[in-house]
Amino acid sequence: MSWREALIGLIVIVVSPLMSTVPLRAQAPAATEVYAVAYVDVLPSARAAMVAAIKQYRESSSRANSDGRIDAYEQNGRPGHYVVIERWKDQAALDTHTATAHAKAFRTAMQPVRVSGYDERPYKPLSTGAGAGSGAGTVFVISHVDIGGGAQAQAPGILSKLAEASRQETGSLRFDVLVHAMRANHFTVFEAWRDQNALDAHVAAPHTKSYRDVLQPISGSPVDERVFTAVQ
């Protein structure tokens, strides 16, 4: 036996017992925020009841769990059409919330007045920023972007570039891009602008036009872009 073989044998004898007594600690992955984006239509005559239900749901959820945030918006020019955007610390927080009595009560309260199902879809962040507070004149734009399967890999870069440029604009309060948790070619773009003038300037900005020119050939369907007002 050479001296090298003897040394290796000694190392194995010494180290092996130590390895058996020291636990191997796997590093847990960082928690990822999750989003739930839901659309629902109710009878125009039931708007007051729907707004009351949304407020109750939001307040009850805030008291019960500090790991999330719920915001709701009504589409301009289309009374009774709402989008509810929920942001949670992680999937476990969302699951806990979904099982609560007040979450179930909110769904139940809509049943008599809804004209479409509560269409909720899971999302995760692609490009999000800190954002700024909104005011009475804030204009919200929420868009659904569907990319053709062959161009799916290009979409995150295109949308992230738009978000980064848009956040630098005067009057930009928030510009977030979410990607569907299970369908990576579907995106929700959420914008908040200080007022209509700020939104108009964004629409005319060179980076917005460039984005639309690049997006149009690879879109799976026309961009579904709608303007909303926050449910206060």
185-206 pLDDT, tens digit per residue, is: 999 999 999 999 999 999 999 9
Is residue 18 one of the residues assigned to a domain? no
What mean pLDDT value characterizes the chain? 86
Domain boundary among 117, 147, 162: 117
Is residue 22 one of the residues assigned to a domain? no
Task: Please report the pLDDT score of residue 4 as a whole number.
Answer: 41
Domain boundary among 117, 132, 166: 117
Residue 53 domain boundaries:
30-117
Rg (CA), the chain: 24
Task: Please report the pLDDT score of residue 46 as a whole number.
Answer: 96
Looking at the fold, whether 55 and 107 belong to one and the same domain comes out as yes
Task: Please report the pLDDT score of residue 31 as a whole number.
Answer: 52
Question: pLDDT-derived band of residue 2, with 50, 70 and 90 as boundaries?
Answer: very low
Domain boundary among 98, 117, 136: 117
| Residues 131-180 pLDDT 10s | 777 788 999 999 999 998 778 889 999 999 999 999 999 999 999 999 99
Residue type, 2: S
Is residue 10 one of the residues assigned to a domain? no
232, pLDDT greater than 80: yes
Looking at the fold, whether 146 and 220 belong to one and the same domain comes out as yes
Burial 112-142 (b: 16+ CB within 10 A, else e): ebbeeeeeebebbebbbeeeeebeeebbbbb
Task: Please report the pLDDT score of residue 149 as a whole number.
Answer: 74
Is residue 3 one of the residues assigned to a domain? no
**Share of residues in the chain with pLDDT > 90 (%):** 75
Looking at the fold, whether 171 and 110 belong to one and the same domain comes out as no
Centre a 10 Å sphere on the Cβ of residue 220 and count the other Cβ atoms it contains: 14
Is residue 69 one of the residues assigned to a domain? yes
Looking at the fold, whether 105 and 130 belong to one and the same domain comes out as no
Is residue 4 one of the residues assigned to a domain? no
Is residue 11 one of the residues assigned to a domain? no
